[in-house]
Amino acid sequence: MVNLFIVIKNLTIYTLILFLSIKLLSKGFDYTAKKLSRANKHTKAAALFISAIAIFAWPFLFADYPYILRTSIIVLLYIVLALSLNFVLGFAGQLSMGHAAFYAVGAYTTALLTVNLKVSFWLAFAASAVIAGLFGLLLGIPTLRLKGDYLAITTIGFGEILRLVLINWTSFTRGPAGIPGIPSPKLFGLTINSNTGYFYLILALAVFTVFISYRLLNSRLGRGLIAVRDDEIAAEAMGINSTYLKILAFVLGAVIAGMAGSFFSTFVHYVNPDNFNYMESVVILTMVVLGGVGSIPGVILGAAVLSILPEALRDIATYRYAIYGILLVMMMIIRPQGMIGKSSFKGGVRHENTKSKKNHKSLWRAVGS
């Protein structure tokens, strides 16, 4: 019972801190977003250039701090993962909660190919992307009929089935024991086995992911996706094939997650089913929601914060997931658009529009009104 009071006291304190930080940080981000959207091209380019140099020089700045370098690699890995979920959740508006499954498919493909068949990492990397993409296609098909919470639960189901296969098909995956001894990649005869090498590898993948996120978003297909997310019926009435786009988003998200998985397995040299459980999907989801669903800078920020936070909060590690839970609820209540909302760089004041009112007709409007 003493325990109960301590836990409640701590949780109350963390909740308060969380509440204040969300409030404060959101103010800060809104302010910065406003400033940024007003800043001229040169300032923006200069800022971008300086941050690019800083990121490229990063491994040299922290060459003597392997801990920092390793954490940076993890941060970049989660940026890739969160952005890959963002294709599905942020662009197409489909709540997929089995995203770790694609990550697992990529990791296991690379592990099996490099360990059992001695295939080169690069080939295995490509195979991971393709096979994860095929799984994305497989999962994309039920989304044609499902929406929101139903889809979420079905995707959890897919994730769990995959995990059970990884555990039970021992002759193929070695079951819960996992696959050790995954080799490091070789490039031009050099083996990449230093943190610096891995840093640049995952940095390249992260830059690639950010790049295609932006290119896609600002293209015809991106507008189609956003249209489907905002209002599927209106999108169809504008000649947009929502089925095709939703599957496209699933496949793209799966491909990128598969690549991240491939990197993970070569970086850690060991995979097992526990790396890819439901909580992993939830962590990726929380990153996207915290940062801002559909907002590329937001998702990057969310991934960075939530992968650094556990390191910073070592002392209260047992509280980590409880805090994640509170964080999700609190974000939904005080800042559902995320730290950097997807429309924070666009003009105009938000009104409640007629459509959104109508769509929520079935909800519990009594409460609080």
Partner 1 sequence: MFMEQLSNGIALGSIYALTAIGFTMVYGIIRLINFAHGDIYMIGAFLTLTGITLLNMHLVMAFLFGMAGAALFGILIAKLAYSPIFKAPRINIFLSAIGTAIFLENFAMLIWGPETQAFPDVIQNNVYTFLGFRASTLQLVILGTTILLVTVLTYVVQYTKIGRAMRCTSQDMDAARLMGINTNRVVYITFALGSSLGAAAGALVGMYYKAVFPMMGFVPGLKAFIAAVIGGIGSIPGAMLGGIIMGVSESLGAAYISSGYRDAIAFIILIAIILIKPSGLLGKAVKEKV
Partner 2 sequence: MRILKAKKITKAFGGLLAVNNVDFHIDSGEIVSLIGPNGAGKTTFFNVITGIHEATSGEVQFLGKKLKKSKPFEITKLGIGRTFQNIRLFASMTVLENIMSGQYCRTHTDLFGAIFATPKAKLEEKKIREKALELLDFLELTDKKDELAVSLPYGYQRRVEIARALATEPKLLLLDEPAAGMNTSEKLDMTKLIRKISEKGYTTLVIEHDMKLVMGISNRIVVLDYGNKIAEGSPEEIQKNPKVISAYLGKGGAQ
Give residues in contact with partner 1 (CB under 8 A).
1, 3-4, 7, 11, 93, 95, 97, 142, 145-146, 148-150, 152-154, 156-158, 160-161, 164-165, 167-168, 233, 278, 282, 285, 289, 318-322, 324-333, 336, 356, 359-369
Shortest approach of partner 1 to residue 229 CB, angstroms? 10
Only one residue has tokens 């991934």, namely 303
Shortest approach of partner 2 to residue 62 CB, angstroms? 32
CA dihedral 189, 193, 199, 203 (to 10 degrees): 40
Tell me, rounded to whole angstroms, the distance of Cα 31 from its chain centroid.
Answer: 25
Binding partner of residue 353 among partner 1, partner 2, none, CB cut-off 5 to 8 Å per kind = partner 2
Give, as one character, the DSSP assignment of residue 368. Answer: T
Q: Which residues make up the interface to partner 2 (CB under 8 A)?
A: 211-212, 215-216, 219-224, 226-227, 229-231, 233-242, 248, 252, 294, 342-343, 346-351, 353-356, 358
Q: Which is nearer to partner 1, 40 or 362 (CB)?
A: 362
CA atoms lying within 13 Å on the CB side of residue 332: 6
CA atoms lying within 13 Å on the CB side of residue 348: 5
Smallest Cα–Cα separation from 199: which of 62, 47, 83, 302?
Answer: 62
Shortest approach of partner 2 to residue 241 CB, angstroms? 5
Binding partner of residue 231 among partner 1, partner 2, none, CB cut-off 5 to 8 Å per kind = partner 2
Q: Which is nearer to partner 2, 118 or 358 (CB)?
A: 358
Alpha-carbon distance of 140 to 177, in angstroms, equals 30
Q: First and final CA of the chain: distance in angstroms? A: 38
Q: Which is nearer to partner 1, 63 or 153 (CB)?
A: 153
Q: Where are the alpha helices (DSSP H) in 117-219?
A: 121-140, 148-168, 170-173, 195-217
Binding partner of residue 210 among partner 1, partner 2, none, CB cut-off 5 to 8 Å per kind = none
Shortest approach of partner 2 to residue 255 CB, angstroms? 11
